[in-house]
């Protein structure tokens, strides 16, 4: 691991040596959290963005001038949403809302919190969403992109969320339901929607039905010291549980966090610009991903100015990844299909990544979702990839593609430019180092890489 783990994540960090935590260990960790009810005014963390700085300075947040404590039935069943709204409305415009330590809060109502202004939400207790899947499918907030919905949407200006408590999405019922019907709408646990200036820090996010964080139409927001985990207890996998997805957002920072999940650790969706990601410990994921992009005909997707630094990646399908749909319609699954969109990926840097048991250390594809290679070759992507640097990636891959350790394939000679690999040292289980599948890319810029040719398709 390339950075010193934070104390609050010590147990989860230790558990990432295996593919998923044992339930007894995870439950022991949850049980160790404080349960004694206490009305304690927490202090907003002083977040240091380091070692790299955001693309633009983040606004400062003034102190708050009054406190509002959230009431609770504290029975683990009754909906506390009215109490939550009451406290937030009383303390909006300059106040500090406190979810008390040792108290359990139940949310059974979709909460529209996009009007917040100069407010702190201090979550010291335990918040859990109800398992009423019929209600949430009918009332969760639609976020347009890929049929995303959220339990709540938090937005406004100058909002800070922190406290060391837990937000629980009650995901097991959703994992089991999705296994029987892939078209259900599973809510995202934390919806940051239209937030301009703020921070989300020092929280435990557990058992999300789908993504853990969806950040849309937002700017100048930092996420720091977040612990993410929640695997299925049944044979039905917790799918699409991305750590963060950014969408139509700029100047976002994601740092100093531990993520145990089953999909992208972080994914930069369409029109994500000026993004900094640093000091993450990812386990069981699909990597740090640009995309997928180019999914919708007529849409212009742009991901530009992204810096990813100091990532530890364990038991994953990918380390550094760029995934673009081809120019022809394709289908990855029944609930995920597309292709034919345009746009660009530009000025992307991955700097310093340690990998262990990862299928591909690096993957760049413009045939995402397309298994028919003839169609992909005939209809190359109209979304270009340029000015990409991936450096100082080292470690070991899994046996899945042995001896191949990476995949860098463009859909045409003109679709990609200036893709640079340097300082790469990745070894397959058979001992072969830096053997990549390459296609329609300037191999002279792939320093130290032994390229084999391909017919464009990704596995």
Question: Which residues are tagged catalytic?
Answer: 263, 286
Can you tell me the distance from the alpha carbon of 13 to that of 62, in angstroms, rounded to the nearest whole number? 34
Q: How far apart are CA 172 and CA 302, in angstroms?
A: 35
> Given the DSSP bridges, would you call strands 330-333 and 336-338 parallel, antiparallel or unpaired?
antiparallel
Cα distance between the two ends of the chain: 28
User: Residue written as tokens 């059974």?
Assistant: 108
Partners of 389 in the beta sheet? 349, 420
Q: What is the DSSP string of 5-51?
A: PPGGGHHHHHHTTSSS--HHHHHHHHHHS--S-B------------S
Closest residue by Cα to residue 311 from 270, 255, 387, 363: 255
Tell me which residue has tokens 């820090």. 201
Neighbours of 351 (CB within 10 A): 18
CB 195 within 8 A of CB 173: no
Could you give the CA distance from residue 184 to residue 93 in angstroms, rounded to a whole number? Answer: 37
Quick one: tokens of 228?
């993410």
d(CA 277, CA 52): 9
Closest CA to 294 of 348, 365, 213, 243: 365
- 406 and 361 in contact (C-beta within 8 Å)? yes
To which residue do tokens 């072969």 refer? 432
């Amino acid at each position: 691991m390339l950075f010193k783990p934070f104390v609050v994540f010590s147990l989860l960090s230790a558990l990432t040596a295996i593919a998923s935590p044992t339930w007894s260990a995870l439950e022991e960790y949850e049980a160790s959290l404080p349960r004694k009810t206490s009305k304690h005014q927490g202090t907003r963390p002083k977040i240091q963005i380091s070692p790299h700085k955001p693309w633009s300075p983040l606004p400062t947040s003034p102190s708050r001038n009054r406190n509002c404590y959230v009431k609770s039935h504290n029975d683990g069943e009754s909906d506390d949403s009215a109490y939550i709204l009451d406290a937030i409305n009383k303390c909006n415009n300059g106040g500090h809302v406190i979810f008390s330590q040792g108290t359990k809060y139940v949310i059974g109502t979709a909460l529209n919190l996009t009007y917040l202004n100069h407010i702190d939400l201090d979550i010291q207790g335990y918040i859990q969403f109800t398992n009423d899947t019929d209600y949430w499918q009918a009332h969760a907030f639609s976020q347009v992109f890929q049929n995303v919905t959220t339990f709540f949407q938090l937005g406004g200006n100058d909002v800070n969320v922190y406290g060391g408590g837990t937000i629980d999405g009650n995901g097991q019922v959703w994992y089991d339901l999705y296994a029987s019907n892939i078209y259900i709408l599973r809510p995202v646990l934390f919806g940051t929607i239209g937030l301009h200036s703020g921070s989300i820090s020092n929280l435990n996010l557990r058992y999300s039905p789908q993504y853990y964080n969806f950040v849309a139409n937002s700017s100048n927001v930092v996420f720091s010291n977040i612990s993410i985990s929640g695997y299925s207890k049944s044979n039905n996998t917790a799918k699409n549980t991305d750590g963060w997805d950014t969408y139509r957002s700029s100047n976002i920072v994601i740092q100093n966090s531990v993520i145990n999940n089953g999909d992208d650790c972080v994914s930069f969706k369409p029109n994500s610009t000026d993004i900094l990601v640093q000091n993450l410990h990812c386990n069981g994921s699909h990597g740090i991903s640009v995309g997928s992009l180019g999914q919708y005909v007529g849409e212009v997707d742009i991901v530009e100015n992204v810096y990813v630094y100091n990532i530890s990646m364990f038991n994953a399908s990918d380390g550094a990844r760029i995934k673009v749909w081809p120019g022809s319609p394709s289908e990855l699954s029944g609930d995920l299909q597309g292709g034919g969109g345009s746009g660009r990926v530009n000025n992307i840097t991955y700097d310093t990544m340690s990998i262990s048991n990862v299928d591909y250390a690096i993957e760049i594809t413009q045939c995402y979702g397309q298994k028919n290679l003839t169609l992909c070759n005939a209809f190359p992507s109209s979304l270009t990839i340029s000015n990409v640097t991936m450096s100082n990636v080292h470690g070991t891959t899994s046996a899945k593609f042995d001896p191949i350790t990476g995949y860098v394939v463009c859909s045409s000679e003109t679709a990609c430019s200036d893709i640079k690999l340097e300082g790469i040292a990745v070894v397959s289980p058979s001992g072969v180092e830096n053997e990549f599948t390459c296609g329609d890319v300037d191999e002279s810029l792939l320093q130290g890489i032994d390229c084999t040719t391909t017919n464009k398709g990704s596995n």
